[in-house]
Amino acid sequence: MTLTGKLWIGIGVLILLSPLGLIVPDHFNAGSAWGEWGLDEIQKMNGYVPKGFQRVSDLWKAPFADYAFHRWEGKDLFQRSFAYIISAVSGISIIAGVAFLIGKVLAKEHE
């Protein structure tokens, strides 16, 4: 098996394990993952929201907010896990596609 094949198998395993990010915090009642807080959670933790956070909070809207589809926030664990997997596949596909295109452009420049 080639190195590239092993890489894609590893990525596939990580995609299938991605719902653990949903299941484990839910099981331990841990709340949000570190660094993925919304403004309301930052307000609750610190007692205030830094002005810089408030200013830039509307600059980017995630295509899959909370790694789920629009209006899937109240769905059961199986459906949310499915959305996590779709989110992982989408993100990896976009990143791999962009990396492939950049590689093609750079390879043409060095011919």
In this prediction, residue 47 carries a pLDDT of 93
Handedness of CA 26, 30, 35, 40 (dihedral sign): positive
The pTM (predicted TM-score) of the whole model is 0.67
pLDDT tens digit at each of 111 positions of the chain: 899 899 999 999 999 988 887 788 778 887 777 777 888 888 998 999 999 888 888 887 777 777 777 777 778 888 888 888 888 898 899 999 999 999 999 998 877
Domain ranges of the chain: 3-32+61-109
Return the structure tokens found at 18.
Answer: 């991605």
* C-alpha–C-alpha distance, residues 80 and 86, integer Å: 10
Cβ distance 84 to 23 under 8 Å? Answer: no
